[in-house]
Amino acid sequence: MKKLFLLFVFLFMTSNLSAAELLVFAGAGMRIPLEELGENFSRETGIEVAFDFDGSGRLGSKMLMGIRPDLFIPGSDKWALKLKKEGLIDDCVAIAHHTPVIITPQGDHQVQSLSDLTLPEIEVALGDSRSAAIGRNNERLFALAGLDTTKMNIVARGINVKQLVSWVETGNVDAAIVWRADAVQSEQVETISIPADINQIDIIPICSLRTPAHPEEATRFWQYLLANAPAIFSKHGFKAIEL
């Protein structure tokens, strides 16, 4: 009986170990490179990685409410700094830049510059600053450009950048501001660059948690990302930071 009990305990522990799955909170705009990195890591190590992609603010709020991922990869460093002050984050390393661009539906040339977003006939969608890194970025951008958002015909606020791209692709709005990496992944939008002297480029950090559910596996994935993320992010249109 004792041997059977010990066998049961062993099988229970090993089955739980094999079923262990890392949970990573990540900004919606990084889905494609991170899914590729996660699949490659799982294939090499046997450790499964599950992603929760959403606006950085929404993910950060989940963490403040007590939901703990194993790693946090927001679209900018604002939430990383906030959560570090709260004692939730251990360390962060910058891996890439997020560059804002204007997008319009393919073949639609009504918008040629940032100032055109103030034209009354242009229906604009912007990120919600409470939930999406792109929304907070836009607030700084418009302030530096001297543009008054109250003069824009803003018809929708997106909770993440993927939602903004979708609205432009389907013609539900005339223009939106998204990350360049998301714009180049779509064949249904035109891209208009924002002048470098006013553009607000954000940093994408990879953040480790003080109390991850799977410390050893989380450390392995963290190290894997530091070694491999720059090349994969570059492949998908991001400006990577060489580590």
72-116 pLDDT per residue, tens: 999 988 889 999 999 999 999 999 999 999 999 999 999 999 999
Does residue 153 have a pLDDT over 90?
yes
- The mean of the pLDDT values for the chain is 90
Q: Is 42 annotated as a binding residue?
A: no
The answer to whether 20-98+202-240 and 100-192 have equal CATH topology is yes
Please tell me the distance from the alpha carbon of residue 78 to that of residue 59, in angstroms, as a whole number: 12
How confident is the model at residue 6, as a pLDDT? 36
Greater confidence, 73 or 57? 73
pLDDT at 161: 92
56 is in an annotated binding site: yes
Give residue 87's pLDDT. Answer: 96
| CATH (residue range 100-192) | 3.40.190.10
Structure-token match 């035109």, residue found:
190
Q: Which tokens in the block code for residue 66?
A: 């007590």
pLDDT tens by residue, 17-43: 345 799 999 998 899 999 999 999 999
Q: Give me the torsion for CA of 131, 136, 138, 144, rounded to 10°.
A: 170
Does the pLDDT of residue 5 top 60, yes or no?
no
Position 69 pLDDT exceeds 60: yes
- Going by pLDDT thresholds of 50, 70 and 90, the confidence category of residue 122 is very high
pLDDT class of 242 with cuts at 50, 70, 90: confident
Strands 123-127 and 48-54, by their bridges, are unpaired
Q: How confident is the model at residue 14 (pLDDT cuts 50, 70, 90)?
A: very low
Where in the chain are the domains? 20-98+202-240, 100-192
Enter the CATH code of domain 20-98+202-240. Answer: 3.40.190.10
Please state which of the ranges 7-16, 141-150, 163-172 shows the lowest mean pLDDT.
Answer: 7-16
Higher-scoring residue by pLDDT: 7, 85: 85
Amino acid 230: pLDDT: 93
pLDDT tens readout for residues 154-199: 999 999 999 999 999 999 999 999 999 999 999 999 999 999 999 9
| pLDDT on residue 78 | 87
Cβ neighbors of 28 (< 8 A, separation 6 or more) are 53, 54, 55, 75, 132, 160, 161, 162, 163
The pLDDT confidence band at residue 216, using thresholds 50, 70 and 90, is very high
Q: Identify the pLDDT of residue 3.
A: 41
210 vs 1: CA distance, rounded Å: 41
- Checking if the pLDDT of 1 tops 60, the result is no
